Every structure is written in C-alpha cells, then in structure tokens.
Amino acid sequence: MALVLCLQVLCSLCGWLSLYISFCHLNKHRSYEWSCRLVTFTHGVLSIGLSAYIGFIDGPWPFTHPGSPNTPLQVHVLCLTLGYFIFDLGWCIYFQSEGALMLAHHTLSILGIIMALVLGESGTEVNAVLFGSELTNPLLQMRWFLRETGHYHSFTGDVVDFLFVALFTGVRIGVGARLLFCEMASPTPKWFVKAGGVAMYAVSWCFMFSIWRFAWRKSIKKYHAWRSRRSEERQLKHNGHLKIH
C-alpha cells in the first residue's frame, strides 16, 4: 500500500513538473514565476472541483465525521495535491520567492497530507481544509496576472480583491473555525491531527491580518480618491471651471 501511495505521489509530482516545463516553453517571453503561477492556478481550480465533489457529494461530511477512514477518491486527491505542494515548495525554496509564512503553510500542508495518508484516516477533514485553502487561490493568481499585465488598477481588479478578501474571511476564518471546533470536539481524530488543525488555522489568521491591513489601506486610498473627485466636481459646478493650485 505504501509503495502504491509513493508511486501516485511521484506521478503527481512528475505531472506538475511536466506542466510547468510546458508552460515555460509556451511562455518563453514571460518569467518563470508566470509559468509557476499558471500551474498554481491550474491546481487551484482542479483541487476546488475535486474536493468540493468529495465534501458535498461523495462524502463523508467533514463536520460530522472527522477522523473517518479515507475513501479511495480522497486518497487519489490527496496524492495529487501532495505532489503539487512538493513541487511548489521546491520551486519557492529554489527561487526564494516566498517568505517564512508561505513556506510554513506549504510545509504544514505536506505534513498534514502525509499524516492522513499514513494513518489511513482523517482524509475527510484534510480534504475540507484543502477546499477552504484553495478556494481563494485562483483569485490570488488572477490578482497577480492583472498586476503583471497592467490591468490591476481597474474595476476587474477591485472585484477580484473584494471577492478574495470576502471568501478568505468567510471560508478560511469563519467556516474554518467551525470545522476546527468539530475536529476538537470529536473523540475520533488523533491528538496530533488536531494539533495540525490548530497550526493550520493559526497560519490562516496570520494571513488574515496581512489581508485586512491591505484591505484597509486600499479602502482608505479609494475613499480619499473619491473625496478628491467630489471636491473637484463641486468646484467645477460652483465656478464653472476647475480651480488650479
């Protein structure tokens, strides 16, 4: 069984690496990060669809059955995702593109998935964490692509930022708190699985503080820009021309 799992993870790693190489070949005029983020976007969309199917349709429900035995589909998805996280962590370390917090997130994700695969249980809640974590990932990548192509400061950029902040707050922090409570209250999961859940939720809060600071600064900047436009419009209406300082 262990050999089969290792082969699945190895195939996943080779698949993501091959996809990255293909993107690099197709986007020679772009940076390596551009191709890596295309891989990240692809994994995000794929993992959202698969984990949503597992959680909402295939089951079991993570809020009522934490610590339950892994299903074959859960194992396949966890192996697929483990290969991706190994690829992305290696890329981040090699290119030194991320800070300690993101590296800690990837490391905890890898350890959590390995733990669920080795134990043969708790794939239900690990899959739920995967869904919550990846739900905002495509938006994060879209934000980066918009910035790189010069389209970030637009209505589309504002919509992407709003959806990202709203989903992160509502799902990773709000729903995540409920999932963590169910995990801690259930006698079924192992204590170290629960500890891993606490660590992942703590990392989400660290991200949340940074996101809220960004959202506050952007909101204040938008507000001042709006007041400035309103002031100019009032001057134009009152004087018939803009006042030049």
H/E stretch holding 209: helix 191-239
* 115-130 pLDDT tens trace: 999 999 999 999 999 9
Q: How confident is the model at residue 167 (pLDDT cuts 50, 70, 90)?
A: very high
What dihedral angle (degrees, nearest 10) is formed by the CA atoms of 217, 211, 156, 99? 110
| Total domains in the fold of the chain | 1
Q: Residue 109's beta-bridge partner residues? A: none
176-211 pLDDT, tens per residue? 999 999 999 999 999 999 999 999 999 999 999 999
Residue the block writes with tokens 């660290």: 206
CA distance 22 to 35: 9
Residue 243, helix vs strand vs coil: coil
Beta strands in 49-145 (DSSP E): none
Domain span holding position 13? 1-241
- Indicate whether 240 pLDDT > 70: no
Q: Does pLDDT of 232 surpass 70?
A: no
Instruction: With a cut of 90, say whether residue 61 has pLDDT above it.
Output: yes
Please give the Cα distance from 53 to 21 (Å, whole number).
29
**Is the Cα torsion angle 140, 210, 94, 12 positive or negative in sign?**
negative
